[in-house]
């Protein structure tokens, strides 16, 4: 249920990683920009903000991909789509390699926090709010977007980064199969919460996210069961 190269338009290649954008991104971008509430004097800033959002998403996905390459794994493709971005990574089947490949994405957002904070302080110190109020609002909104993406991604809900980080940490004491089983079982609870929240708030986007998270969580659970069946039985004491 994740986007693939089929139906995606190539953008560029960096460090052996091909970046493309799914065709559906353009339609959702047009809708989102047009329905964005008027925070700016010029509607062009709505476009800049949306592009900045996916610029942050792209940096986040490069964090995953480059970290995976550091571990000796395979990472050669990133696809942007309406729900964010997907880095197709295949790190070595070791807990440490898996943990670093996943954690590097949110760490990019952590590194951006002081950058946006400094830019906002610079704007205030130079009184840009009078001369260029749209630029000040843009910096404020993009900083909030980065923080929001960070907080959402580290929720311990599989398959979000937080859920996969939890899975990698549990891998050390529990092994690969049981750690994935625990993470996905907890993930089902998180998906149910997201679905309830989407219903309560009437949020279509949150509902779509809950649906896709549920599909991936189910796939992870089934994979965990297959791994458990393939594990050799414990030997005699």
Instruction: Express each pLDDT in 8-56 by its tens digit.
Output: 899 999 999 999 999 988 888 888 887 776 778 888 888 999 999 999 9
Q: What is the rounded CA–CA span in Å between residue 166 and residue 63?
A: 18
18 and 103 housed in the same domain: yes
Place of tokens 């625990």: 182
Do 15 and 122 belong to one domain? Answer: yes
How many structural domains comprise the chain? Answer: 2
Residue 199 lies inside a defined structural domain of this protein: yes
Comparison of pLDDT for 190 and 5, the residue scoring more: 190
> Domain end: 154, 188, 208, which one?
154
Same domain, 122 and 198: no
Q: Give the domain range for residue 112.
A: 1-154
Q: Does residue 235 fall inside a structural domain?
A: no
Provide the angle, in degrees to the nearest 10, between the axes of the packed helices 95-125 and 161-174.
150
In terms of pTM, does the model score above 0.85? yes
Residue 8 in any domain: the answer is yes
């Amino acid at each position: 249920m994740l986007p693939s190269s089929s139906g995606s338009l190539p953008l560029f290649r960096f460090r052996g990683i091909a970046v493309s954008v799914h065709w559906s991104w353009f339609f959702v971008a047009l809708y989102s920009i047009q329905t964005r509430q008027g925070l700016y004097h010029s509607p062009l800033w709505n476009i800049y903000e949306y592009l900045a959002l996916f610029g942050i998403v792209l940096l986040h996905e490069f964090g995953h991909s480059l970290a995976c390459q550091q571990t000796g794994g395979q990472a050669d493709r990133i696809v942007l789509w309406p729900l964010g971005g997907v880095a197709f990574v295949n790190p070595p089947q070791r807990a440490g390699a898996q943990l670093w490949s996943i954690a590097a994405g949110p760490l990019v957002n952590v590194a951006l926090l002081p950058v946006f904070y400094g830019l906002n302080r610079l704007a205030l110190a130079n009184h840009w709010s009078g001369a260029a109020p749209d630029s000040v609002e843009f910096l404020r909104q993009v900083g909030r977007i980065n923080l929001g993406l960070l907080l959402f991604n580290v929720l311990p809900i599989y398959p979000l980064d937080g859920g996969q980080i939890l899975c990698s940490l549990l891998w050390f004491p529990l092994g690969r199969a049981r750690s994935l089983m625990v993470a996905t079982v907890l993930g089902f609870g998180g998906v149910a919460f997201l679905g309830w929240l989407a219903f309560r708030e009437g949020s279509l986007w949150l509902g779509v996210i809950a649906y896709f998270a549920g599909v991936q969580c189910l796939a992870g659970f089934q994979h965990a069961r297959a791994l458990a069946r393939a594990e050799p039985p414990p030997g005699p004491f």
